[in-house]
Structure 1
Amino acid sequence: MVVPAKGKALVPTDISIALPEGTYGRVAPRSGLAMNHFLDCGAGVIDADYRGPVGVLLFNFGDEPYQVKEGERIAQLILERIYTPDVVETEFLGSTDRGNKGYGSTGQL
């Protein structure tokens, strides 16, 4: 499969997995592909109840197409614990020092 220059491709792995309850898998890029070929992964979350084959969404930020070779290690899977509390609707959230400031506001002096 080819990931076009400045493009993306969903690369099938033909691998199916069963993750432990209370975890999810995060598909992460490999540093060598990022450094040497400008390849990155995106949208890589695998839920514990998913049982299909895993695909890897590769983005090619380079100027040349990238040929993915069979058996090549294009990503890595990181297992993380997940906490899924019950969602409770409320009218009042309480106040904090930060308030509603976001998008870079916490990096200010």
Structure 2
Amino acid sequence: MSLLRLVEGATIPWVSIAGVGVVTAVLVGPVVWFVRDRFSERRRERLTLVSFGLAMILVPIALGLSLAFGVPRFVPSFDSLILGSYLGCVIVLLGEQTLVPKRLRAAD
């Protein structure tokens, strides 16, 4: 839906989408690799559920606060944030599948 709204607009903010994607990849990549290295599969499953639950609580609160107090000027739209974050996560997953040897990403 965010992609469709961005395509319908007059201009697509490629710079902010790419910037958010790179920042997301830089932040998400090491966290994912650290968690995979340190925790068992069962524990990672539990951490995934907890972090998804926290995201489901915090994202609407952050959206409400930003709407109540005004969106910062450096954010062109929430759609570019959503699309950039999605692309950053895809970059991390593709990078892990193509660059990291299979023996290093094998399950415990």
Q: TM-score, normalised by structure 1?
A: 0.19
Q: Which has the higher strand share?
A: 1
Higher normalized contact order (CA 8 Å, seq sep 6+, divided by chain length):
2
Larger radius of gyration: 1
Q: Which has the higher helix share?
A: 2
Q: TM-score, normalised by structure 2?
A: 0.19
